[in-house]
Chains A and B, each alone.
Chain A
Amino acid sequence: KQEVTQIPAALSVPEGENLVLNCSFTDSAIYNLQWFRQDPGKGLTSLLLIQSSQREQTSGRLNASLDKSSGRSTLYIAASQPGDSATYLCAVKNDYKLSFGAGTTVTVRA
Protein backbone atom coordinates (compact mmCIF):
# COMPACT_ATOMS: atom_id res chain seq x y z
CA LYS A 1 0.00 0.00 0.00
CA GLN A 2 1.40 3.38 -1.03
CA GLU A 3 1.98 5.88 1.79
CA VAL A 4 2.75 9.52 1.08
CA THR A 5 4.27 11.79 3.71
CA GLN A 6 4.72 15.54 3.53
CA ILE A 7 7.06 17.47 5.76
CA PRO A 8 6.66 19.98 7.26
CA ALA A 9 2.94 20.01 8.01
CA ALA A 10 2.98 23.80 8.21
CA LEU A 11 5.37 26.53 7.17
CA SER A 12 5.37 30.29 7.75
CA VAL A 13 7.81 32.54 5.90
CA PRO A 14 8.21 36.26 5.19
CA GLU A 15 7.42 37.46 1.71
CA GLY A 16 10.29 37.03 -0.73
CA GLU A 17 11.75 33.96 0.89
CA ASN A 18 12.06 30.75 -1.13
CA LEU A 19 9.84 27.82 -0.11
CA VAL A 20 10.92 24.18 -0.01
CA LEU A 21 8.23 21.54 0.44
CA ASN A 22 9.06 17.88 0.79
CA CYS A 23 7.17 14.75 -0.19
CA SER A 24 8.18 11.12 0.31
CA PHE A 25 6.48 7.91 -0.81
CA THR A 26 7.01 4.28 0.12
CA ASP A 27 6.43 2.47 -3.20
CA SER A 28 8.79 3.74 -5.90
CA ALA A 29 6.90 1.95 -8.72
CA ILE A 30 4.94 5.08 -9.54
CA TYR A 31 3.50 6.20 -12.84
CA ASN A 32 3.74 9.91 -12.07
CA LEU A 33 3.77 12.45 -9.24
CA GLN A 34 1.65 15.57 -9.04
CA TRP A 35 1.68 18.67 -6.89
CA PHE A 36 -1.64 20.37 -6.14
CA ARG A 37 -2.64 23.57 -4.40
CA GLN A 38 -5.74 23.77 -2.19
CA ASP A 39 -7.12 27.09 -0.98
CA PRO A 40 -9.35 27.12 2.14
CA GLY A 41 -12.85 25.89 1.32
CA LYS A 42 -11.93 25.21 -2.30
CA GLY A 43 -11.05 22.29 -4.53
CA LEU A 44 -7.58 21.29 -5.70
CA THR A 45 -5.69 22.91 -8.54
CA SER A 46 -2.98 20.96 -10.34
CA LEU A 47 0.36 22.78 -10.32
CA LEU A 48 2.91 20.38 -11.79
CA LEU A 49 2.96 16.80 -13.03
CA ILE A 50 6.19 14.81 -13.29
CA GLN A 51 6.21 11.56 -15.22
CA SER A 52 8.16 8.70 -13.67
CA SER A 53 10.83 9.03 -16.36
CA GLN A 54 11.40 12.73 -15.63
CA ARG A 55 13.61 14.35 -13.01
CA GLU A 56 11.91 17.74 -12.76
CA GLN A 57 9.25 20.08 -14.05
CA THR A 58 9.11 23.86 -13.99
CA SER A 59 6.30 26.37 -14.26
CA GLY A 60 7.06 30.01 -13.58
CA ARG A 61 8.32 30.35 -10.00
CA LEU A 62 7.57 26.68 -9.30
CA ASN A 63 10.02 23.84 -9.75
CA ALA A 64 9.41 20.24 -8.72
CA SER A 65 12.04 17.53 -8.64
CA LEU A 66 11.56 13.77 -8.52
CA ASP A 67 13.95 11.10 -7.27
CA LYS A 68 11.94 7.96 -7.85
CA SER A 69 14.53 5.51 -6.55
CA SER A 70 14.67 7.20 -3.15
CA GLY A 71 10.93 7.92 -3.11
CA ARG A 72 11.21 11.70 -2.84
CA SER A 73 9.98 14.86 -4.47
CA THR A 74 10.60 18.49 -3.61
CA LEU A 75 8.55 21.51 -4.61
CA TYR A 76 10.45 24.79 -4.74
CA ILE A 77 8.60 28.10 -4.87
CA ALA A 78 10.89 31.03 -5.57
CA ALA A 79 10.39 34.53 -4.17
CA SER A 80 7.23 33.69 -2.24
CA GLN A 81 4.26 36.06 -2.24
CA PRO A 82 1.27 36.35 0.12
CA GLY A 83 -0.85 34.89 -2.69
CA ASP A 84 1.13 31.66 -2.39
CA SER A 85 -0.48 31.03 1.00
CA ALA A 86 -2.38 27.74 0.65
CA THR A 87 -2.08 24.03 1.35
CA TYR A 88 0.16 22.14 -1.07
CA LEU A 89 -0.59 18.47 -1.65
CA CYS A 90 1.65 15.86 -3.20
CA ALA A 91 0.07 12.84 -4.94
CA VAL A 92 1.60 9.76 -6.56
CA LYS A 93 -0.05 7.51 -9.10
CA ASN A 94 0.09 3.72 -8.85
CA ASP A 95 -2.39 1.20 -10.21
CA TYR A 96 -4.57 3.84 -11.88
CA LYS A 97 -5.17 5.80 -8.68
CA LEU A 98 -3.66 8.75 -6.84
CA SER A 99 -2.45 8.52 -3.25
CA PHE A 100 -2.23 11.87 -1.49
CA GLY A 101 -0.14 13.23 1.33
CA ALA A 102 -1.78 15.26 4.10
CA GLY A 103 -0.32 18.47 2.70
CA THR A 104 1.89 21.34 3.83
CA THR A 105 0.03 24.49 4.83
CA VAL A 106 2.03 27.53 3.79
CA THR A 107 1.60 31.06 5.14
CA VAL A 108 3.54 33.85 3.47
CA ARG A 109 3.65 36.96 5.68
CA ALA A 110 3.57 40.35 3.99
Chain B
Amino acid sequence: DTAVSQTPKYLVTQMGNDKSIKCEQNLGHDTMYWYKQDSKKFLKIMFSYNNKELIINETVPNRFSPKSPDKAHLNLHINSLELGDSAVYFCASSRQETQYFGPGTRLLVL
Protein backbone atom coordinates (compact mmCIF):
# COMPACT_ATOMS: atom_id res chain seq x y z
CA ASP B 1 0.00 0.00 0.00
CA THR B 2 2.98 2.31 0.55
CA ALA B 3 2.96 4.94 -2.19
CA VAL B 4 6.61 6.02 -1.98
CA SER B 5 8.99 3.72 -0.16
CA GLN B 6 12.66 4.11 0.69
CA THR B 7 15.26 1.65 1.92
CA PRO B 8 16.97 1.61 4.26
CA LYS B 9 15.18 3.71 6.85
CA TYR B 10 18.36 4.18 8.87
CA LEU B 11 21.95 4.07 7.68
CA VAL B 12 25.00 4.43 9.93
CA THR B 13 28.37 4.22 8.24
CA GLN B 14 31.97 5.30 8.43
CA MET B 15 33.55 8.19 6.58
CA GLY B 16 34.91 7.20 3.20
CA ASN B 17 32.42 4.39 2.60
CA ASP B 18 30.13 4.14 -0.43
CA LYS B 19 26.41 3.61 0.15
CA SER B 20 23.15 3.51 -1.78
CA ILE B 21 19.59 4.49 -0.93
CA LYS B 22 16.73 3.03 -2.91
CA CYS B 23 13.36 4.60 -3.72
CA GLU B 24 10.30 3.09 -5.33
CA GLN B 25 6.88 4.57 -6.08
CA ASN B 26 3.77 2.63 -7.04
CA LEU B 27 1.70 5.66 -8.00
CA GLY B 28 2.46 5.56 -11.71
CA HIS B 29 4.09 8.99 -11.53
CA ASP B 30 6.46 10.26 -14.21
CA THR B 31 8.67 12.46 -12.06
CA MET B 32 10.80 11.54 -9.06
CA TYR B 33 12.98 13.63 -6.78
CA TRP B 34 15.69 13.42 -4.13
CA TYR B 35 15.77 15.98 -1.32
CA LYS B 36 18.19 16.49 1.56
CA GLN B 37 16.97 17.77 4.95
CA ASP B 38 19.79 19.00 7.13
CA SER B 39 19.97 19.34 10.91
CA LYS B 40 18.30 22.75 10.75
CA LYS B 41 15.35 21.12 8.96
CA PHE B 42 15.92 22.93 5.65
CA LEU B 43 14.72 20.74 2.81
CA LYS B 44 16.64 21.20 -0.46
CA ILE B 45 16.16 19.64 -3.87
CA MET B 46 19.08 17.57 -5.09
CA PHE B 47 17.87 15.84 -8.26
CA SER B 48 14.74 15.37 -10.31
CA TYR B 49 14.05 12.79 -13.01
CA ASN B 50 11.19 12.77 -15.50
CA ASN B 51 10.60 9.53 -17.38
CA LYS B 52 14.09 8.36 -16.41
CA GLU B 53 15.71 11.55 -17.71
CA LEU B 54 17.57 13.96 -15.40
CA ILE B 55 15.85 17.36 -15.40
CA ILE B 56 17.14 19.02 -12.23
CA ASN B 57 20.66 18.71 -10.88
CA GLU B 58 21.31 21.20 -8.13
CA THR B 59 24.73 22.10 -6.82
CA VAL B 60 25.46 18.70 -5.42
CA PRO B 61 28.94 17.16 -5.15
CA ASN B 62 29.57 14.64 -7.90
CA ARG B 63 30.03 12.03 -5.17
CA PHE B 64 26.24 11.83 -5.36
CA SER B 65 24.95 9.94 -8.39
CA PRO B 66 21.28 9.25 -8.99
CA LYS B 67 20.18 6.34 -11.13
CA SER B 68 16.73 5.71 -12.53
CA PRO B 69 16.43 2.19 -13.96
CA ASP B 70 12.74 2.76 -14.73
CA LYS B 71 10.00 5.30 -14.02
CA ALA B 72 9.11 3.69 -10.70
CA HIS B 73 12.61 3.74 -9.22
CA LEU B 74 15.14 6.43 -8.41
CA ASN B 75 18.18 5.33 -6.44
CA LEU B 76 20.89 7.50 -4.92
CA HIS B 77 24.47 6.34 -4.68
CA ILE B 78 26.95 8.24 -2.53
CA ASN B 79 30.71 7.73 -2.85
CA SER B 80 33.35 8.57 -0.26
CA LEU B 81 30.89 9.62 2.43
CA GLU B 82 31.77 12.69 4.50
CA LEU B 83 30.59 13.85 7.93
CA GLY B 84 28.58 16.65 6.28
CA ASP B 85 26.53 14.12 4.36
CA SER B 86 24.72 13.23 7.59
CA ALA B 87 21.10 14.23 7.04
CA VAL B 88 17.69 12.84 6.22
CA TYR B 89 17.23 12.07 2.53
CA PHE B 90 13.71 12.12 1.13
CA CYS B 91 12.49 10.69 -2.12
CA ALA B 92 9.31 12.08 -3.70
CA SER B 93 7.26 11.59 -6.83
CA SER B 94 4.64 13.54 -8.74
CA ARG B 95 2.52 13.38 -11.86
CA GLN B 96 1.36 16.95 -11.92
CA GLU B 97 1.98 19.44 -9.13
CA THR B 98 1.42 17.62 -5.85
CA GLN B 99 4.50 15.79 -4.61
CA TYR B 100 4.24 12.64 -2.53
CA PHE B 101 7.11 12.00 -0.15
CA GLY B 102 8.67 8.84 1.17
CA PRO B 103 9.35 8.35 4.89
CA GLY B 104 13.00 9.39 4.61
CA THR B 105 16.36 7.70 5.11
CA ARG B 106 18.33 8.90 8.11
CA LEU B 107 22.01 8.81 7.25
CA LEU B 108 24.65 9.20 9.94
CA VAL B 109 28.29 9.32 8.91
CA LEU B 110 30.76 8.67 11.72
Contact = CB atoms under 8 A, between A and B. Distances in A.
A46 B27 CA distance: 15
Contacts, number: 47
10 contacts: A34-B98, A43-B90, A43-B102, A46-B100, A49-B97, A89-B43, A96-B55, A97-B48, A97-B56, A98-B45
A97 B45 contact: yes
Interface string B83-95: 0000000101000
A43 to B, nearest CB: 4
B90 A44 contact: yes
Contacts of A103: 41
A46 B99 contact: yes
B42 A43 contact: no
A27 to B, nearest CB: 15
A100 B98 contact: no
A42 B56 contact: no
